[in-house]
Structure 1
Amino acid sequence: MNLITVLSNQITFKDFIDISIVALMIYQVLKIVQGTRAVQILTGMVFLSILFAIGVSYNLYTLNWILDHFFDYFFIIFIILFQDQIRAALANVGTGRKMFQFFDRSPIDFDIEEIIRVCSVLSKERTGALIVLEKKNGLENYVDTGTRLDSKIHSDLIYAIFQPKSPLHDGAIIIRDNMLVAAGCFLPLSKNVDIDRHYGTRHRAALGITELSDAVVITVSEETGRISTCSEGFFTQCSSENELRKKLTQLLGNSISKEKMQVVSKL
């Protein structure tokens, strides 16, 4: 009881705000690194911290000297090791993603039926495809790597782009605000070493872009014809048009207009 009284007298409202902000930052960092290789790196750094504490307690001079110099450059090392996670965190703060949901922008009105239709045809023909649906995090730097189209979404156009003889079939198409913005775009490949070895470049690119942004990606496998959705670095296979429709509705959520949501619910 005395300890609680002492703490209540020493901790001011300013200290409470300070602790709350730091706790929120730590929580957000843990959410970002959850399920990624960064967790293993964090575990290693915690282990080094424990070694450093032991070295200080028992005056282990050589160990203290090594770890002391290591922690002198801790922030530089931290930035180098977690540059992808830091980039994603800053993008999330900039858009308010997962933090300020009530500031969401108005629905984008993705025409998912056109996308579902063409994916089904490409799957039956075993024609590979990589379709990126931009949400809040801007992908303009990746748009610049491809050919600008700024066209309305149409299944025939998407089908033509991914035909083997098309000069744009190797890259991804990026869809924004219900517009096919660009085709033949190059995406960053995932650096996750634990990826299934059966995944090719197309699937690694899908993982890479979703690890760095909130985009939703649809892949059609050239080898198997399987359709998969990818979001936040995780794949989900869709064995039918209805499964793909339900998954896109779940992932896009506010990005589909109420009228189209009613159509989807009836299906």
Structure 2
Amino acid sequence: MGIIEILYQQIGIKDVMDIAIVSIILYQILRIVQGTRALQVMLGLVLVLGLYGVSLYYKLYSLNWILTHFFDYFVIIFIILFQDQLRSALANVGTGRKVFGIFNNKSEYLEIEEVVEAAGVLSREQIGALIVFERRHGLENIVGTGTRLGAEIHSDLIYSLFQPSSPLHDGAILIQDGKIAAAGCFLPLSNNIEIDRHLGTRHRAALGISEISDAIVVTVSEETGRINLCIDGTFYSCGNENQLRQYLKHVWSNEKLDEKLKPIKLKD
């Protein structure tokens, strides 16, 4: 009797479902931590587990006692270490909205043009800006940090909000469900110690919100006027308005990018 026949007799439908569910969970965990500092933490935990095996094999009682108590609280330690990644994973499971749905289907291109036009003017005048697009992960907590507007997306409004004389110019504006939901919003700063030290608070905030959510962030540098798109913790430089337009249309409707532009790698 072959191995396949033995497995066929011993494994039932419930076993197959069990294996499939566990495999999917492990796969999603690996996808979440890929390319992040969480992967380094996971490798560290694997080394600790290996050390625990060594302590058992060679009967290193003191080390074994320490590691045994460490693993007694492993679930709590895991939640603390991977709280951002777990939040992202649960948001992926709990959302039912379209994967790339940023804009209303009837006016998506008009809204893109309004954002691109505003970013272009702000760039030429070297006025700093931070524009966040909510995607699948809800950002209502971010909306709550600013001033609620619920206004139509218009380049003149975006331009005026980021004027130095505006009381809301220091924060970010958040676009939600085809509306400017709020302005003057505070974003979490990135904790990544490996990012360029020359990046200011505005760019660190863009990285921070993109690391803990699937938001798309447009930044305009106050020092250089340079436009950047930030997705999944990565900046994509936009040399002009047309490149920003291409990136936004590519993310929203998967339109083909110019070969000269840096390809976008989305986690989902």
State the TM-score, normalizing by the size of structure 2. Answer: 0.88
Structure 1, residues 207-230: CA drift from partner, whole Å, max 9, x if none?
Answer: 111112221110001111110011
Q: In the alignment, what sits opposite 1:38? A: 38
Structure 1 pair 105/126, CA: closer, same or farther in 2 (3 Å)?
closer
Q: Does the 8 Å contact 2:189/2:204 carry over to 1? A: yes
Equivalent residue, structure 1, for 2:80:
80
Report the counterpart of residue 185 of structure 1 in structure 2.
185
Amino acid at match of 1:52: Y
- 3-state SS in 1 of match to 2:8: helix
Displacement of 1:196 in angstroms is 1.3
How many corresponding residue pairs?
253
Secondary structure of the residue aligned to 1:145 is coil
Task: Report the CA distance shift for 1:105/1:53 in structure 2 as closer, same or farther (over 3 A).
Answer: farther
Post-superposition offset of 1:44? 0.2
Q: CA deviation at 1:109?
A: 3.9
Q: Matches of 1:20 and 1:35 in 2, distance apart?
A: 25
Where 1:138 maps in the other structure, the secondary structure is coil
* 1:113 CA drift (Å): 0.3
Unaligned runs of 5+ in 2: 256-268
Percent same amino acid at aligned positions?
60
Unaligned runs of 5+ in 1: 255-260, 262-267
| Distance (whole Å) between structure 2 residues aligned to residue 216 and residue 92 of structure 1 | 16
Cα shift at 1:11: 2.1
Partners in 2 of 1:233 and 1:249 — Cα distance? 19
Partner of 1:265: none
1:212-231 aligned within 5 A: 212-231=212-231
Asked if 1 retains the 8 angstrom alpha-carbon contact of 2:127 and 2:225, the reply is yes
Specify whether residues 94 and 218 from structure 1 end up closer, same or farther in structure 2 by C-alpha distance, changes over 3 A only: same
Deviates more, 1:55-64 or 1:195-204: 55-64
In the TM superposition, residue 251 of structure 1 has moved relative to its aligned partner by: 1.6
Q: Following TM superposition, by how much is the alpha carbon of 1:47 offset from its aligned partner in structure 2, in angstroms?
A: 0.5
SS in structure 1 opposite 2:236? strand
Q: 1:182 to 1:33 in 2, by over 3 A?
A: same
Structure 2: distance between partners of 1:171 and 1:102? 25
Contact 1:150–1:182 under 8 Å retained in 2:
yes
Deviation at 1:9, TM superposition (A): 2.7
Q: 1:207 to 1:103 in 2, by over 3 A?
A: closer
Alpha-carbon contact 1:172-1:183 (below 8 Å) kept: yes
Q: For the structure 1 residues 68 and 235, does the alpha-carbon distance in structure 2 shift closer, same or farther, using more than 3 Å as the test?
A: same
* Number of the residue aligned with 2:105: 107
CA RMSD, Structure 1 to Structure 2 (Å): 2.3
Task: Return the TM-score normalized by structure 1.
Answer: 0.88
Q: State the one-letter code of the partner of 1:175.
A: I
C-alpha distance 26-106 of structure 1, shift in aligned 2 (>3 A): farther
Paired position in structure 1 for 2:47: 47
